[in-house]
Amino acid sequence: MRSADSAYLENDKRLADVIAAIQTLAIYKFYKLDFAGWADRITGDPALAFHWKRVFEQHPEFFRLDSKRERASLVWRRQHQKLFHVDLGKEISRQEYLALSSEEKLRVSRTSLDSTEITALIDTAIKLYGQALESRKDQRWLLTALLTLLGVVLGAAITALAS
């Protein structure tokens, strides 16, 4: 995808959506949910599931879908160990995890990101948005120059034909 076609420039609220998604996916007790679940967590409206699926798909620099393409997670959070017991509200040891039943293991998630990690992701999103805006400006300058050149060439051709 060229910078001019950047997903950050798709609409005026895209950067805000990416930041909201980063914040929510970084700290919610479960690291992976379906799109309706994330829509409910981010906006309070599960009917916006398609919108959030699109945001996650268009920003692979931050988000990943599972193999069935039904649930999304934050890339950085997927690198954390899956040892956070959501009911106990604390990290457990690998031995404690292995001792859990299959049903109890479903209550274990990856640890949340800390504020430094979240800030780094938000700063990255802001920088990528800025780069997309700069690229758009650069392309407008190039288009103006090309149109001016085309006008000169056409003017010269018309003058030559008129002579």
pLDDT tens per residue, range 13-29 = 999 999 999 999 999 99
Right CATH number for 3-79+114-136 from 2.60.120, 1.10.10, 3.30.70, 1.10.287?
1.10.10
**pTM (2 d.p.):** 0.80
Q: Is the pLDDT of residue 153 over 90?
A: no
Whether the Cβ atoms of residue 86 and residue 29 lie closer than 8 Å to each other: yes
3-state secondary structure of 63: strand
- In order of 38, 96, 119, 121, the CA distances from 24 in angstroms are 8, 27, 13, 12
Largest CA distance in the chain: 93
Looking at per-residue pLDDT, the higher value among 113 and 151 belongs to 113
Give the pLDDT mean for 113-137. 92
pLDDT tens, residue by residue, 64-107: 999 999 999 999 999 999 999 999 999 999 999 999 999 999 99
Return the number of other C-beta atoms located less than 10 Å from residue 18's C-beta.
Answer: 26
| Banded pLDDT at 141 (limits 50, 70, 90) | low
pLDDT of residue 4: 47
What is residue 110's DSSP assignment? P
Across the chain, where does the E strand assignment appear?
A: 32-34, 63-65, 71-74, 84-85, 90-91, 108-109
Number of residues written out for the chain: 163
